[in-house]
Structure 1
Amino acid sequence: MNGESGFNFADERRSEDETIAYAQCMTKMAGGELNGDDIAALRRIYRGETTPEVEQAAYLTRQGITLDELRSGLRDAH
């Protein structure tokens, strides 16, 4: 859900369910799996209720990662 894949979640040519199925397929091909929270987030993005950036922040929060920790880790990586 990084928003950089070039996949437009709100593509009007695809239904919401087709969009979710596509995201599940691509995630599985990459060796991952979408859980219920991921699918709910994708549905909110598709419906225009939120943005990928907001959902990423929510995901990090659920994982217990603070913004300061993320910034610190990025600084340490360089």
Structure 2
Amino acid sequence: MATDNPPIYMVGGSKGGVGKSFVTLALVDYLRRTDVNVVLVETDTTNPDVMKAVHDEIECGSWALLKTEWVMGLSGRFH
């Protein structure tokens, strides 16, 4: 999928054990099978399990979100 503005998929939530990692791994698998270039940004610094699972296969990075970053939108304004 070559576009000027590729889609960004975000999977998140605050409650543990609801399937965020499972859904993320399934999404990564699906996108790779459809020849989409995938870059994973892991924001769970205490248990980066998704990044550990795929770091040998795709480009991965880690980012610790701060509370101010969490509430700021892409425009840089607070919501």
Higher relative contact order (CA 8 A, sep 6+): 1
> As a proportion of its length, which structure holds more strand?
2
> As a proportion of its length, which structure holds more helix?
1
Q: TM-score, normalised by structure 2?
A: 0.30
Q: TM-score, normalised by structure 1?
A: 0.30
